[in-house]
Amino acid sequence: MTSVATPGLENAPTTHARLLAWVQEMAELTTPDRVVWVDGSDEEWERLTGKLVDAGTFTRLEKKSNSFWCASDPSDVARVEDRTFICSVDEADAGPTNNWMAPDEMKAVMTELYRGSMRGRTMYVIPFCMGPVEAEDPMFGVELTDSEYVVVSMRVMARIGSRILEAMGTDRPFVPAMHSLGAPLQEGQQDVPWPCSDTKYIVHFPEERAIWSYGSGYGGNALLGKKCYSLRIASVMARDEGWLAEHMLILKLTSPQQKTYYVAAAFPSACGKTNLAMLEPTIPGWQVETLGDDIAWMRFGEDGRLYALNPEYGLFGVAPGTGWDTNPNAMRTIDKGNSVFTNVALTDDGDVWWEGMTEEPPAHLTDWKGRDWTPDSDELSSHPNSRFCTPITQCPILAPEYDDPKGVPISAILFGGRRKTTIPLVTEARDWNHGVFMGATLSSETTAAATGAVGVVRRDPFAMLPFIGYNAGDYFGHWVETGKMHDATKLPRIFYVNWFRRDADGGFLWPGFGENSRVLKWVVERLEGTAAAVETAVGHVPTVDSLDVSGLDMTPERVEQALAVKPEEWREEIPQITEWFQRFGDKLPSTLWDELAILESRLA
């Protein structure tokens, strides 16, 4: 070993002792050619995107300013849930829904993987802040990465750079987030456009509030401020400090009477959170504005209400299915440029295309695997989990208060999944605990956002199954406690929605998208006490007349089918829920067993 200093380690632009020591330690372990402190400037962005173009990772788009097309390695396209670990000191704290390994054991394994893993590459130090840096307690993190793609994407998804480093001062706490592609370069070795490793680990040390990621360049595995920090680590912080870190969009709804309501909604990945967050109401006089499309941090205010904040700064949305018909506001957002498109198709004139963007596909494309594609091709042009990465500030319906460190007071929480049967279009919980039961038993058919089979029904509690950073039984308990600790009259009301119910022929019963504004209207009218509901075994469901379907081409029979509570279908859920709850043993709050007993007796 020579002891030649790594360029960039000396003269660091900070005197933050813990940060300096950690960067030094990780640089010695991973042996990059140099260390670069990311400042977040335009010049830096020019340099990095230029480098990505030269490397063949990025193709500059002629038709969208400052935007790039990017194709990943075909094996590195989604979150890897089976390679994701919660390494709590005690295995019981990871619970039955997470992979676990003892922290020391995991560190030993990963230290060997990291040893020399950045050889021939640059280590970037990305200071970032989740949520506004003007917050009373800014939520700092620092990501170390050897991927320029990660730096460029983090610049969109989080507040990063010199101003964050400055705000961190000499001793502010931060979450260390270590990332390496696991693809060191030998002297003279030619790089590939998407370096990654077959060995992947996405690891969280909840007690230490630390993240170690290895082997993948994909969004949720590599942009560590997102799922790793803002959900898995933050959920642990939230449990300890009495708040909630949730997989929820945040939207602002204004009624024709100019009354405003803030709604948070949890859906599994790739179930339409971005579409709902940016919905264009089809009913006159209603307005939706966006605050966030994926993550909500919610804390109680002094007035006893629950306030939500979007910790992110960008949108990392599923591309296929996003079009002028389904989500015009997302299209307007990306049309302003400054975006990275990963695993979509490239048009011949230097733009992007994906299934569902327009009705007619272009006559010729380069598909996400770089091959010629025509409408006659057997395969899709874009990967089902292909993504656009775009600054949220470009969203034309962004609510001005998205950036308020105080957050916005939430009036209603929606839980939703993708279910062909059983679950009505919308159901209101009887009370908070019934709402927690709805969240804890939430189920959905799997999507392409994670590797594995698609379309299989699984329980996805609170749409947080892959993101709860501790024992899910304790997490349910935290929700129950949250209800107990606060004034019930000020808690948000809880609703369960299902846009995906099918008729006997397999067709969707509900048109969805902008028409979901009709469901939001019913929710608001419930808050205002003006909408009728039928009390069913599973909660309050709209009467056929109380749901505004005016102007919609839908027979009353179909509306009824969309709203139907069929006891025989629900009775089939009981053994599944029982089995699900049994997995949590003593950790399951007794309140949830009580709720299940109530459901059973109401169905009898």
Q: What one-letter code names the amino acid at 241?
A: E
| SS3 assignment for 199-211 | CCEEEEECCCCEE
Task: Give me the least distance between CB of 13 and ligand SAT, in Å please.
Answer: 29
- Answer with the entry of Mn ion, ligand SAT, none that 449 interacts with (C-beta below 5 to 8 A by kind): ligand SAT
Task: Give me the least distance between CB of 297 and ligand SAT, in Å please.
Answer: 16
221 is in an annotated binding site: no
Buried b (16+ CB within 10 A) or exposed e, 207-241: eebbbbbbbbbbbbbbbbbbbbbbbbbbbbbbbee
516 is in an annotated binding site: yes
Cβ contact 250:292 at 8 Å: yes
Of residues 162-181, those binding Mn ion (CB under 5 A): none
Report the C-alpha gap between 357 and 73 in whole angstroms.
23
41 is in an annotated binding site: no
Residue 225 DSSP class: I
- The one among 79, 155, 501, 518 contacting ligand SAT by CB under 6 A: 79
460 binds Mn ion (CB under 5 A): no
227 binds ligand SAT (CB under 6 A): yes
Number of residues engaging Mn ion in binding (CB under 5 A):
2
Cβ contact 243:286 at 8 Å: no
Report the C-alpha gap between 296 and 89 in whole angstroms.
27
294 is in an annotated binding site: yes
271 is in an annotated binding site: yes
Supply 288's token pair: 């939706």
H/E element holding 459? strand 457-459
Cβ contact 27:124 at 8 Å: no
Residue 438 DSSP class: H
Question: Residue 93 or residue 294: which is nearer to Mn ion going by CB?
Answer: 294
341 binds ligand SAT (CB under 6 A): no
Task: Give me the least distance between CB of 459 and ligand SAT, in Å please.
Answer: 17
Supply 442's token pair: 């939430």
Of residues 216-275, those binding Mn ion (CB under 5 A): 269
Give the C-alpha distances (Å, rounded to integers) separating 450 from 379, 512, 543. 20, 23, 37
Interface pattern 429-458 for ligand SAT (x via CB under 6 A): --------------------x---------
- In 10 A of CB 510, how many CB atoms? 25
Task: Give me the least distance between CB of 418 and ligand SAT, in Å please.
Answer: 14
Q: Is 271 a catalytic residue?
A: yes
- Answer with the entry of Mn ion, ligand SAT, none that 219 interacts with (C-beta below 5 to 8 A by kind): ligand SAT
349 is in an annotated binding site: no
247 is in an annotated binding site: yes
Cβ contact 225:158 at 8 Å: yes
Strand order in the sheet with 372-373: 352-353, 345-347, 365-366, 372-373
> Helices marked H in 251-324 — which ranges?
273-277
Angle at 182 between CA 12 and CA 231, to 5 degrees: 75
- The one among 58, 140, 316, 479 contacting ligand SAT by CB under 6 A: 316
Interface pattern 347-386 for ligand SAT (x via CB under 6 A): ----------------------------------------
Report the C-alpha gap between 394 and 226 in whole angstroms.
19
DSSP 363-427: S-EE-TTS-EE-TT-SS-SS-TT-EEEEEGGG-TTB-GGGG-TT-EEEEEEEEE---SSSS-SEE
Question: Residue 467 or residue 570: which is nearer to Mn ion going by CB?
Answer: 467
94 is in an annotated binding site: no
Three-state DSSP state, 212: strand
Marked catalytic residue, from 87, 271, 389, 395? 271
State the residue number with the nearest CB to ligand SAT: 220
- The one among 131, 220, 292, 314 contacting ligand SAT by CB under 6 A: 220
Q: What values do phi and psi take at 386, rounded to 5?
A: -70, 155
Of residues 276-305, those binding Mn ion (CB under 5 A): 294
- Answer with the entry of ligand SAT, Mn ion, none that 220 interacts with (C-beta below 5 to 8 A by kind): ligand SAT
Q: What values do phi and psi take at 578, rounded to 5?
A: -60, -50
200 binds ligand SAT (CB under 6 A): no
- Answer with the entry of ligand SAT, Mn ion, none that 226 interacts with (C-beta below 5 to 8 A by kind): ligand SAT
219 binds ligand SAT (CB under 6 A): yes
269 binds ligand SAT (CB under 6 A): yes
311 binds ligand SAT (CB under 6 A): no
Number of residues engaging ligand SAT in binding (CB under 6 A):
9
418 is in an annotated binding site: yes
Up-side HSE of residue 361: CA atoms within 13 Å toward CB?
Answer: 23
Question: Residue 294 or residue 367: which is nearer to Mn ion going by CB?
Answer: 294
Task: Give me the least distance between CB of 528 and ligand SAT, in Å please.
Answer: 33
273 is in an annotated binding site: yes
Binding residues for Mn(2+): 227, 247, 294
The residues annotated with a catalytic role in the active site are 271
In the complex, which residues of this chain contact ligand SAT (CB under 6 A)? 79, 219-220, 226-227, 269, 294, 316, 449
Please report, in range form, the residues annotated as the binding site for GTP: 270-275, 387, 418, 513-516
The footprint of Mn ion (CB under 5 A) covers: 269, 294
